[in-house]
């Protein structure tokens, strides 16, 4: 077998949720192996396992020790890994499952959100030379001291990409229950089209603006290490979406002006009025937010005629309670006139690597929405994404309009 012919396949929780699906995963791995590939599989925990364990721990401790949570949750992936290995062996091929520790997935000690520092490849290569398909428990690692860590949301995607990088795999296949990345959410836009190829940057913008196929961290890791990702469905054999360096694209035409439309309803807008318009005040606001681990998404600042500033920003819904506390605290040191919180907003974004060289995309977007009486409340732009905040009850209409305006249903 060709030592360099390595592929990494990642299957999420729904793809290993039943015995039948586990057998399906085993079949895919065996097929690739019989085609001459050295196969590494990374799996998430089965179906609701992780949620069940979290629920159990919540009965014992309201705020359980993060180290112990990682000890607890990492068992979910260990279970699914061993079951996939059993299924492959039952079908007559050779397989071995490995925990994060056994592979040598070294992380820092930020329990529950650990970062990968290094990935060992010796054990996996030695299992390859014994003819084994290797199943690696996703989502987990080990600190230098030997404590078990987990990688946080989307951790199994990151495990897969990190393994692909360490092993110099041809590509990393991320299997899920959808066919790939679409020009828009197919639940909203029935004629949304599957995108064949995307650059890392486009995927990053899509992932951060609402598309849920791939996790941001995994795409970042792939970009930094040049890992080619193939996002595809575990329920059919259709080609999915390839995510790679744009240099890998054969023709420039592939760089669509607009690749897709995404939206995010999990946002809340906070407007702070009457901030003293002096240097450092806005910085203070955002540094307090950062200290409280609140990710601020969009920011708009205006200066009023009275020499006071108004800042509007958006954050995730789940961060609202902490954000309120931060603002209350700031009120005690700064004279802030008033604060408005608006939970009825949503964000719609258009993403496209070709955008940067095509002027007029933004104005086309604003016209498209304006002509249909959709009011834009905030705007943020970067070279390959334009995002608008609008009323939540109009966001799906906006997605539909933009998909039509930019004729995304056509290749």
Point out which residues bind a copy of itself (CB under 8 A).
19, 22-23, 53, 56-57, 59-62, 64-65, 67-69, 71-72, 74-75, 78-79, 81-83, 85-87, 89-90, 95-97, 99, 101-102, 123, 146-148
Provide, rounded to whole angstroms, the least separation between the CB of residue 163 and a copy of itself.
17
Residue 386 has phi, psi (to 5 degrees) of -130, 125
Could you please report the per-residue DSSP string of 211-241? --SS-HHHHHHHHHHT--EEEEESSS----E
**How far apart, in whole angstroms, are the C-alpha atoms of residue 375 and residue 377?**
6
Give 102 or 246: the residue with its C-beta nearer to a copy of itself: 102
Closest CA to 151 of 200, 106, 120: 106
Could you please report the per-residue DSSP string of 306-346? TSEEEEEEEEEGGGHHHHHHHHHHHHTTS---EEEEE-SEE
Provide, rounded to whole angstroms, the least separation between the CB of residue 21 and a copy of itself.
11
Provide, rounded to whole angstroms, the least separation between the CB of residue 120 and a copy of itself.
11
Give 94 or 400: the residue with its C-beta nearer to a copy of itself: 94
Give 61 or 375: the residue with its C-beta nearer to a copy of itself: 61
Give 90 or 168: the residue with its C-beta nearer to a copy of itself: 90
Provide, rounded to whole angstroms, the least separation between the CB of residue 218 and a copy of itself.
25
Q: Are 259 and 183 spatial neighbours (Cβ–Cβ below 8 Å)?
A: yes
Give 32 or 83: the residue with its C-beta nearer to a copy of itself: 83
Provide, rounded to whole angstroms, the least separation between the CB of residue 83 and a copy of itself.
6
Provide, rounded to whole angstroms, the least separation between the CB of residue 18 and a copy of itself.
9
Closest CA to 166 of 209, 111, 224: 224
- Matching residue, tokens 């970062």: 115
Provide, rounded to whole angstroms, the least separation between the CB of residue 128 and a copy of itself.
16
**How far apart, in whole angstroms, are the C-alpha atoms of residue 195 and residue 210?**
16
Give 138 or 240: the residue with its C-beta nearer to a copy of itself: 138
Helix, strand and coil in the chain, % to nearest 5: 40, 25, 35
Q: Are 275 and 310 spatial neighbours (Cβ–Cβ below 8 Å)?
A: yes
Give 79 or 281: the residue with its C-beta nearer to a copy of itself: 79
Give 18 or 367: the residue with its C-beta nearer to a copy of itself: 18
Classify residue 154 as left (phi > 0), alpha (psi -120 to 50) or beta.
left
Provide, rounded to whole angstroms, the least separation between the CB of residue 153 and a copy of itself.
20
Provide, rounded to whole angstroms, the least separation between the CB of residue 101 and a copy of itself.
7
Give 59 or 306: the residue with its C-beta nearer to a copy of itself: 59
Q: Please give the structure tokens belonging to residue 181.
A: 């990345």
HSE, CB side, 13 Å, CA atoms: give it for residue 84. Answer: 41
Q: Please give the structure tokens belonging to residue 203.
A: 């995927």
């Amino acid at each position: 077998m060709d030592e360099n012919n390595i592929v990494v396949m990642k299957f999420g929780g729904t793809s290993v949720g039943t015995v039948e699906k586990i057998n399906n995963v085993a079949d895919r791995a065996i097929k690739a192996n019989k085609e001459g590939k050295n196969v590494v599989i990374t799996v998430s925990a089965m179906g609701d396992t992780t949620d069940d364990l979290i629920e159990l721990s919540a009965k014992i401790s309201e705020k359980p020790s993060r180290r112990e949570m990682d000890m607890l949750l990492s068992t979910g992936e260990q279970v699914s890994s061993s079951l996939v290995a059993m299924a492959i062996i039952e079908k007559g091929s050779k397989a071995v499952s490995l925990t994060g520790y056994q592979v040598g997935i070294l992380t820092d000690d930020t329990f529950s959100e650990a970062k990968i520092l290094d990935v060992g490849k010796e054990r996996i290569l030695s299992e390859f030379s014994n003819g084994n398909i290797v199943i690696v428990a996703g989502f987990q690692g080990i600190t230098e001291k030997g404590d078990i860590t987990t990688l946080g949301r989307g951790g199994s995607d990151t495990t897969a990409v990190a393994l692909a990088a360490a092993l110099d795999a041809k590509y990393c296949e991320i299997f899920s229950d959808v066919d790939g990345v679409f020009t828009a959410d197919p639940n909203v836009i029935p004629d949304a089209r599957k995108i064949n190829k995307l650059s890392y940057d486009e995927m990053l913008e899509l992932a951060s603006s609402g598309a849920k196929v791939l996790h941001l961290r995994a795409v970042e890791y792939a970009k930094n290490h040049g890992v080619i990702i193939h996002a595809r469905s575990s329920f059919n054999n259709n080609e999915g979406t390839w995510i790679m360096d744009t240099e890998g694209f054969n023709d420039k035409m592939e760089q669509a002006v607009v690749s897709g439309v995404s939206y995010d309803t999990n946002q809340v807008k906070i407007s702070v009025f009457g901030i003293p318009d002096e240097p450092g005040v806005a910085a203070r606001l955002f540094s307090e937010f950062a200290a409280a681990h609140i990710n601020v998404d969009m920011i708009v600042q205006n200066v009023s005629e009275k020499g006071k500033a108004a800042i509007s920003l958006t954050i995730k819904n789940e961060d609202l309670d902490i954000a309120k506390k931060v603002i209350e605290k700031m009120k005690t040191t700064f004279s802030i006139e008033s604060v408005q919180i608006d939970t009825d907003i949503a964000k719609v974004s258009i993403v496209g690597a070709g955008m940067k060289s095509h002027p007029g995309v933004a104005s086309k977007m604003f016209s498209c929405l304006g002509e249909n009486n959709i009011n834009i409340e905030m705007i943020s732009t970067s070279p390959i994404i334009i995002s608008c905040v609008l009323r939540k009850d109009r966001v799906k209409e906006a997605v539909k309009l933009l998909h039509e305006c930019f004729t995304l249903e056509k290749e």
